Amino acid sequence: MIWLVVTGIFRIVGGFTLPKGDASKGLLIVNGVLALIIGVLLLSLPFLTAAITMAILIAFYAISSGITLISLAFVSKSVRGQTAT
């Protein structure tokens, strides 16, 4: 569950380092905050009583992360079409 915390921190930092006009900045930060919250929740729960809760939280993270990353792909595709090459 430490990988969720580390991934969340890196995504938040990566979101803040994007240029100011980048439309995908907010989605990357939301994805990082979500990973950080779920990682901290999983680390704070006792292991034996949290097996089902762990599975539910990881499934929730996977679904919500997939949705935000798919929307991030659509945003970056629309922005790429607007730039002059």
For 31, list phi and psi in degrees, rounded to 5. -65, -40
How far apart (Å, rounded) are the C-alpha atoms in residues 78 and 37?
Answer: 30
Average pLDDT in the 23-28 region? 82
Structural domain total, the chain: 1
Average pLDDT in the 53-61 region? 83
Q: Give the 3-state secondary structure of residue 85.
A: coil
Quote the domain boundaries for residue 30. 2-79
- pLDDT surpasses 80 at 2: yes
- pLDDT surpasses 90 at 15: no
85 in any annotated domain: no
For residue 81, what are its two tokens? 């079409």
73 in any annotated domain: yes
55 in any annotated domain: yes
84 in any annotated domain: no
- Under 8 Å CB-to-CB from 61, ≥6 apart: which residues? 4, 34, 35, 38
Categorize the per-residue pLDDT at 80 as very low, low, confident or very high, splitting at 50, 70 and 90.
low
